[in-house]
């Protein structure tokens, strides 16, 4: 919406802070959920009541639509209302409207006001409304308002409200800054570095583990039955068409492929000639001609450059294609030379010059034979694209007659893919993973939203490249699995737990020895471990040799002490923190000032959010969920 771009108030710190709170997700966490009760009795056209004010149906609908359009522009792809609701944009828009209403009523209760003169000066001083001469333009002002759906009265009213909301924010957090202790703590969290001595215990360090008895496995299973619950799985048939799948490259003749080759050869398959060009500039044509004569007499180009004190680094203009040389005189002269030759004096845009071409990379054109297969596929795909809509319509006619996908696939000679049984992460019962489905996640989600026997709508592939039809043929409901069904899994997990327990116990003993003062190398040697060093570790660092959980535990262990952590391969890492260093906190540096400013803004945001939450509680906020769903297009049942 234009307001966020042209409000001058939003350029200040508190303006930006207010916008962040109003338009961010900060208030969303407590602005809607848990506030009041759902009610129906105050009007079908009201979505919410905030104190004595109401948020209307059209107001809610407009705010939601504006947010959808904004996200569409940001993502550069179409965002449907369903997608927007899944992302929470509907609740976010309602949260913003509730917060604005709370601040507006707070301003009224405090008897705050904005004078007409303030609004007038704000509009006259706004550069958005100025013409080419820098003066305020009434015509531009009215044009911008009309193009964004505002009248002058509505715009002035919105400006007043924004300024008043900003004043409240300034009153609440105007003098707030981050405490020094908090700044120093933040400095420590960002800049502390630690060095450790470590050793790795592989799973084999747990020793030989006897095979479990049946009783042990059953006990293990009974204690963890929930972990072995079979998820809901579905079996489906999928029929997909796309330009790629319909393309028949073998049907494209050589003549058609060659025609396409000639059409795009220059743009796609030609690497243009490049030349590395050197240049000496002269003050006048006479000196350039004299230098050229000396070169013809036997002097070198480099000697002339040295005499004119042209450094070697400044001698070469660069390596260019013909079109990349912007000066037409230089372009024609340089591309007329043979490699190593010096041009006659040429009058460039910067004066008389002598040119030399040191390297010529000839034009390279990929032969038709090298790209014939690619071209046939391209031509075939282009032709098939025109058939996608036709085949789609014919298949839809068959679907309207309740014909199964299997029969349709046979009739159109299209492959029918059987899928499943799979869960909603494409996992099969044996642990393997199904290959990605045509259409990706939307197809998978659609299969799990449908049911057996339902006539489903086709899913359109991205960029209108094709369609996917699907029929759910079987649904295996989630259920408890028996011990016999998962015995192999139980035994694998039992053994992994046993390894983890033994390694944990062993590393606990080693940590105790280290903390009693034994040398790390002696302890490691007694356990048959290899010592490693890791230095200058940062708290947020990502290192391939140290997982995030290990780094987190390193920073949670006192310097000079030892600890251990599990790693992904079912082993453990034993470590001792050798040192913990941190540069002194100099508040006068630019980095420190920037950090203090960011931290202060964060503190201010938290305080303002708490204030608004308290005002919401005092005023009372209730939501008409039915009207809210009507305004945002959600399900009403």
pLDDT per residue as tens digits for the range 82-92: 888 888 888 98
**End residue of a domain, out of 420, 442, 476:** 476
Confidence of residue 183 (pLDDT cuts 50, 70, 90): low
Q: What is the pLDDT of residue 237?
A: 92
Alpha helices by DSSP H, 428-486: 441-449
Residues 130 and 59 in one domain: yes
Out of 104-118, 264-278, 526-540, 598-612, which region has the weakest mean confidence (pLDDT)? 598-612
Are 280 and 308 spatial neighbours (Cβ–Cβ below 8 Å)? yes
What average pLDDT does range 409-438 have in this prediction? 87
Identify whether residues 143 and 239 lie together within a single domain. no
Q: Assess whether 332 and 215 both reside in one domain.
A: no
Report phi then psi at 361, rounded to 5.
-100, 110
Outline where DSSP puts E strands in 445-597. 459-460, 466-476, 531-538, 562-566, 572-581
Give the mean pLDDT of 75-79: 75
What is the mean pLDDT of the segment spanning 221-245? 86
Task: Give the confidence band of 15 by pLDDT, cuts at 50, 70, 90.
Answer: very low
Q: Say if 58 falls within a structural domain.
A: yes
> Is 572 found in the same domain as 462?
no
3-state class (DSSP) for residue 136: strand
Q: Is residue 465 situated within a structural domain?
A: yes
CA 13/CA 602 separation, integer angstroms: 12
d(CA 409, CA 573): 56
Instruction: Please give the DSSP secondary-structure letter assigned to residue 252.
Output: S
| 162/302 same-domain check | no
Specify if 426 maps to a domain. yes
Across 273-286, average pLDDT:
90
Residues 506-542 have pLDDT tens digits of 999 999 999 999 999 998 898 888 998 988 888 877 7
pLDDT band at 79 (very low <50, low <70, confident <90, very high): confident
Domain interval for residue 109: 3-176+600-632
Q: How confident is the model at residue 257 (pLDDT cuts 50, 70, 90)?
A: confident
Domain co-membership, 291 together with 326: yes
CB atoms within 10 A of CB 469: 25
Residue 586 lies in a domain: no
511 and 628 co-located in one domain: no
Under the banding of pLDDT at 50, 70 and 90, the label for residue 21 is very low
- Establish if 593 belongs to a structural domain: no
C-alpha span between 404 and 402 (Å, rounded)? 6
Residue 354 belongs to domain with CATH number: 3.10.50.40
Dist. CA 575–CA 553, nearest whole Å: 10
**Lowest-confidence region among 103-112, 178-187, 267-276, 377-386:** 178-187
Range with the poorest average pLDDT among 13-27, 264-278, 355-369: 13-27
More confident residue, 167 or 572: 572
Q: What are phi and psi of 275, to 5 degrees?
A: -135, 140
More confident residue, 324 or 176: 324
Decide if 494 is inside a domain: yes
44-58, 281-295, 569-583, 623-637: the lowest-pLDDT one: 623-637
Q: For 536-565, what is the mean pLDDT? A: 86
- Evaluate whether 435 touches 382 at the Cβ level (below 8 Å): no
Q: What percent of the chain has pLDDT over 90?
A: 9
Do 332 and 358 lie in one domain? The reply is yes
User: Encoding tokens for residue 271?
Assistant: 């690497």
My answer on whether 98 and 10 are in the same domain is yes
Give the whole-angstrom CA distance, residue 26 versus residue 322. Answer: 55
List alpha helices for 110-213, DSSP H: 116-125, 138-147, 152-173, 180-191
Domain count, the chain: 4
pLDDT at 155: 83
Per-residue exposure over 55-80, b if at least 16 CB sit within 10 Å of its own CB, e if not: bbbebbbbbbbbbbeeeeeeeeeebe
In a domain, 481, yes or no: no
Where does a domain end: 424, 448, 476? 476
Instruction: Mark whether 99 and 18 lie in a shared domain.
Output: yes
pLDDT digits (tens, 9 = 90+) for 133-162: 778 888 888 888 777 777 888 888 888 888
Structural domain includes residue 374: no
Residue with more model confidence, 262 or 636: 262
Helices (H) and strands (E) in the chain, counts: 25, 17
> What CATH number is associated with residue 84?
1.10.4030.10
- Does residue 280 sit in the same domain as residue 201? no
**Four-residue CA torsion sign, 373, 375, 381, 383:** negative
Model confidence at 360: pLDDT above 90: yes
pLDDT value of residue 609: 84
Last residue of a domain, one of 331, 365, 399: 365
Same domain, 24 and 150: yes
Q: Taking the CB of residue 382, how many other CB atoms lie within 10 A of it?
A: 13
């Amino acid at each position: 919406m234009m307001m966020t771009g042209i409000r001058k108030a939003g350029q200040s710190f508190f303006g930006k802070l207010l916008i962040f709170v109003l338009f961010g997700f900060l208030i969303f966490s407590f602005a809607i959920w848990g506030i009041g009760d759902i009610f129906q009795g105050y009007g079908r056209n009201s979505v919410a009541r905030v104190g004595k004010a109401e948020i209307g149906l059209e107001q809610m609908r407009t705010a939601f639509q504006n947010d959808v359009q904004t996200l569409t522009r940001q993502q550069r792809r179409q965002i449907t209302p369903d997608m927007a609701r899944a992302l929470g944009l509907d609740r976010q828009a309602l949260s913003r409207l509730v917060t604005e209403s709370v601040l507006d009523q707070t301003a009224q209760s405090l008897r705050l006001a904005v004078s007409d003169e303030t609004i007038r000066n704000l509009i006259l001083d706004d550069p958005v409304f100025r013409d080419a001469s820098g003066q305020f333009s009434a015509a531009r002002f009215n044009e911008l308002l009309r193009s964004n759906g505002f009248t002058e009265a509505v715009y002035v009213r919105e400006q007043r409200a924004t300024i008043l909301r900003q004043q409240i924010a300034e009153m609440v957090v105007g003098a707030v800054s981050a405490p020094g202790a908090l700044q120093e703590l933040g400095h420590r969290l960002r800049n502390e570095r630690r060095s450790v001595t470590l050793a790795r215990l592989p799973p084999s360090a747990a020793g030989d583990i006897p095979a479990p008895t049946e009783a042990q496995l059953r006990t293990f299973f009974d204690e963890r039955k929930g972990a072995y619950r079979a998820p809901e799985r579905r079996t489906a048939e999928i029929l997909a068409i796309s330009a790629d799948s319909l393309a028949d490259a073998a049907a494209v003749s050589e003549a058609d492929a060659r025609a396409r080759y000639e059409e795009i050869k220059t743009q796609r398959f030609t690497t243009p000639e490049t030349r590395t060009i050197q240049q000496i500039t002269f003050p006048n044509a006479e000196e350039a001609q004299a230098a050229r004569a000396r070169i013809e007499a036997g002097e070198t180009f480099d000697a002339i450059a040295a005499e004119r004190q042209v450094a070697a680094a400044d001698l070469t203009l660069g390596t260019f294609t013909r079109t990349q040389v912007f000066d037409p005189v230089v372009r024609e002269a340089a591309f007329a030379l043979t490699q190593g030759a010096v041009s006659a004096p040429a009058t460039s845009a910067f004066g008389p010059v002598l040119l030399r071409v040191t390297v010529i990379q000839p034009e390279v054109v990929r032969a038709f034979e090298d790209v014939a297969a690619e071209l046939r596929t391209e031509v075939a795909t282009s032709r098939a694209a025109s058939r996608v809509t036709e085949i789609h319509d014919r298949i839809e006619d068959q679907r309207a007659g309740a014909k199964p996908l299997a029969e349709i696939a046979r009739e159109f000679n299209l492959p029918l893919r059987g899928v499943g049984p799979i869960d909603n992460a494409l996992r099969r019962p044996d642990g393997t993973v199904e290959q990605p489905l045509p259409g990706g996640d939307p197809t998978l989600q659609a299969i799990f939203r449908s049911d057996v026997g339902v006539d489903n709508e086709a899913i359109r592939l991205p960029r209108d490249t094709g369609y996917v039809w699907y029929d759910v043929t079987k649904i295996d409901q989630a259920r408890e699995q028996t011990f016999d069904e998962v015995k192999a899994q139980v035994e694998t997990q039992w053994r992994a737990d046993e390894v983890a327990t033994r390694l944990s116990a062993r590393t606990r003993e080693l940590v105790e020895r280290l903390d009693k003062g034994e040398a790390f190398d002696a302890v490691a040697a007694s356990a048959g471990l290899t010592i490693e060093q890791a230095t200058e570790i940062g708290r947020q660092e990502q290192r391939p040799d140290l997982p995030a959980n290990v780094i987190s535990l390193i920073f949670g262990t006192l310097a000079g002490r030892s600890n251990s952590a599990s790693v992904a391969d079912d082993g453990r890492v034993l470590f001792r923190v050798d040192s913990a260093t941190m540069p002194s906190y100099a508040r006068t540096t630019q980095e420190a000032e920037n950090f203090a400013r960011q931290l202060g803004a964060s503190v201010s945001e938290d305080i303002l959010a708490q204030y608004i939450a308290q005002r919401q509680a005092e005023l009372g906020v209730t939501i008409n969920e039915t009207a809210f769903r009507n305004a945002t297009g959600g399900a009403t049942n």
